[in-house]
Amino acid sequence: MMTLHRRRFLELGAAATTVALCGCLGSGDGEPSYAEWIPATDGGVHVGYLDFSIARETTEGAQLLPLILPTDATGGPREVLTEISGSDSVDDPLLSWPLEVGGRLVAGAAIAVAVSGLDYLVDPKQPDRGIQELFMADTVAVGRGEIDLEEATERLRSGSDGPIGGVRLEATGSVGEFTLYEPIDDETLDGVTAISETAVLVADTAEEIRRVVEATQGDHAREIEETETFEWLIETAGDGHIGGGWIGPIDLEDVYFGDPSERPVDALLRPDDDIFASVTFDAEDGEVTADLAVQRPLDDATATRFESQFGSASENPSITVEDERVIASGTYSEDVLDFEFSQPDRTTTEPPDASKPVDPPEAVAEAVPDDAFEFTYEAEQDRVKVGIAEDLDVEKVTFSAVESDYEASTTTPRADMYMYLYVDSDGDTVVVSATVDGTSGVVARKEFP
């Protein structure tokens, strides 16, 4: 088995799943609830967060979330459902930046919880229990919700199957109301998991967890209390269903899921700047609101770029550039994101059999051209990038790595989307299947390396 360190947490997969949990991380009065979990630091700090009610309120809300949330497959390999990965459908950075960057900053939290063996806490098939708010409090993954301590403890101790296989943990101490657990075999997995009745924390060290817990108890200074710029960022743009940002300078290679150079307007919103942005979905009015706050050096040319680019697709954009600060806000109709506000359909189709040959039923063969998928093997990271070459009129496309038991799927296969499948380094087969009118068939198969 592999040694899984922090860097590997952020590289384990690329997918997103529909979740149906309630709670709103940043919609209450006063400062967002996640702010009390972020301890003061001497250097840069990053935050990414997700309120799971986004998927409950929008039929295709999860397709906008470029993050990973593993879930158990029924009677088969571990499954990762995806609704989007690598789509550039929104040509307005005021909206696209928080959707993409916020999701990729919080991706590490989803993977950290799953790797610890507590992935059932983010199971979309059980919307009434588990994690309701998920975020990165700088270097610590935090999942807040209702935690059954007896079940969570048993899973940690028994080594319940997770994305890297069963890893047994043992209690090593406590911090406040949290019990700390560490892997018995630290050559397979390192890090510390802390659980209480209301939260799960995962970090590299117990000291990082201690600082976060003490910050919530008022025994350690919080970033929002110590840094005026961070307070301004959160007050200006910190509310919403999904979002993220940082106090620079930070090294995005260490905290960003994916290639940081591919994020929107990377030359305007840089790792050395101070940034926060968020998106809020209003199901009642059928609107989406995006907010952005930036502090960075500004000359006339840079200010003009902000004014001309941010809010370009909004119905009523507002942007203020003053001294070294930019504040932008915009409201969008649901049409700009090509989704509807309604209760999502939770039905699923039977997973295709990955062992079948490339000989799909007639309906599937007619819907999927022979060259619909492109494969790129990335040996250093033990993964295969599968790209979709054109829009496909199918119900679902499923991607499977046979030996590693990784699986991903999308119900909105569009041109230029892609996803990563992590494969067995000793040899694996990637299989692509499509479903049309309830009938599934294998449409592509490729062996690696």
Instruction: Using the predicted structure, report yes or no on whether residue 78 has a pLDDT greater than 70.
Output: no
pLDDT digits (tens, 9 = 90+) for 315-342: 899 999 999 999 999 999 866 665 443 3
Q: Do residues 386 and 398 touch, judged by C-beta distance below 8 A?
A: no
Q: Quote the pLDDT of residue 9.
A: 30
414: in domain: yes
Residues 395 and 301 grouped into a single domain: no
Kindly state the percentage of the chain with pLDDT values over 70.
75
What is the count of structural domains for the chain? 2
Q: Do residues 27 and 20 touch, judged by C-beta distance below 8 A?
A: no
User: Looking at residues 380-399, what average pLDDT do you find?
Assistant: 87
357: in domain: no
Tell me which of 405 and 349 has the higher pLDDT. Answer: 405
Answer with the one of 337, 352, 376 that is the final residue of a domain: 337
Instruction: Using the predicted structure, report yes or no on whether residue 148 has a pLDDT greater than 60.
Output: yes
Residues 314 and 431 grouped into a single domain: no
Could you tell me where the beta strands, DSSP code E, fall in 138-231?
140-146, 169-175, 178-183, 192-195, 199-203
Phi, psi values for residue 158, rounded to 5°: -85, -10
Peptide linkage before 249 cis (omega within 30 of 0): yes
145 vs 132: CA distance, rounded Å: 5
Phi, psi values for residue 387, rounded to 5°: -105, 150
Tell me which of 422 and 71 has the higher pLDDT. Answer: 422
Q: Quote the pLDDT of residue 59.
A: 46
345: in domain: no
Residue 443: which CATH number?
2.60.40.10
Instruction: Using the predicted structure, report yes or no on whether residue 34 has a pLDDT greater than 90.
Output: yes
347: in domain: no
Residues 231/234/235/241 CA torsion (nearest 10 deg): -160
Domain housing 325:
6-337
Residues 328 and 372 grouped into a single domain: no
pLDDT band at 288 (very low <50, low <70, confident <90, very high): confident
| CA distances in angstroms from 291 to 76, 89, 123, 178, 324, listed in the order given | 41, 19, 29, 34, 17
pLDDT digits (tens, 9 = 90+) for 389-398: 998 999 888 8
Using CB atoms within 10 Å of the CB of residue 335, give its burial: 0 to 12 exposed, 13 to 18 middle, 19+ buried. Answer: exposed
190: in domain: yes
User: Looking at residues 255-270, what average pLDDT do you find?
Assistant: 83
Residues 44 and 144 grouped into a single domain: yes
Residues 282 and 385 grouped into a single domain: no
Instruction: Using the predicted structure, report yes or no on whether residue 106 has a pLDDT greater than 60.
Output: yes
Average pLDDT, the chain: 78
Considering only CA atoms, give the Rg of the chain.
Answer: 21
352: in domain: no
Residue 321, token pair as written in the block:
């550039």
402: in domain: yes
Residues 265 and 397 grouped into a single domain: no
Tell me which of 209 and 266 has the higher pLDDT. Answer: 209
Q: Quote the pLDDT of residue 146.
A: 87
User: Looking at residues 268-276, what average pLDDT do you find?
Assistant: 96
User: Looking at residues 94-107, what average pLDDT do you find?
Assistant: 86
Could you tell me where the beta strands, DSSP code E, fall in 257-353?
274-282, 287-295, 318-322, 325-333
Tell me which of 25 and 179 has the higher pLDDT. Answer: 179
Residues 396 and 265 grouped into a single domain: no
Q: Quote the pLDDT of residue 6.
A: 31
Lowest average pLDDT, out of 7-21, 47-61, 162-176, 291-305, goes to 7-21
Tell me which of 6 and 390 has the higher pLDDT. Answer: 390
Q: Specify the pTM.
A: 0.69
344 vs 55: CA distance, rounded Å: 8
Find all residues with CB under 8 Å of 317, minimum gap 6, and list them: 94, 310, 311, 328, 329, 330
Residues 279 and 371 grouped into a single domain: no
User: Looking at residues 361-368, what average pLDDT do you find?
Assistant: 94
Could you tell me whether strands 80-81 and 406-410 are parallel, antiparallel, or unpaired per DSSP bridges?
parallel
3-state percent breakdown (helix, strand, coil) of the chain, nearest 5? 25, 30, 45
Residue 326, token pair as written in the block:
């930019």
Residues 220 and 302 grouped into a single domain: yes
Q: Quote the pLDDT of residue 132.
A: 83
Instruction: Using the predicted structure, report yes or no on whether residue 61 has a pLDDT greater than 60.
Output: no
Residues 324 and 370 grouped into a single domain: no
Answer with the one of 303, 322, 337 that is the final residue of a domain: 337
Residues 280 and 429 grouped into a single domain: no
Residues 93 and 221 grouped into a single domain: yes
Residue 369, token pair as written in the block:
């051209």
Looking at residue 336, the DSSP 8-state letter turns out to be G
Instruction: Using the predicted structure, report yes or no on whether residue 262 has a pLDDT greater than 60.
Output: yes
Instruction: Using the predicted structure, report yes or no on whether residue 411 has a pLDDT greater than 80.
Output: no
Find all residues with CB under 8 Å of 196, minimum gap 6, and list them: 147, 149, 176, 177, 178, 179
380: in domain: yes
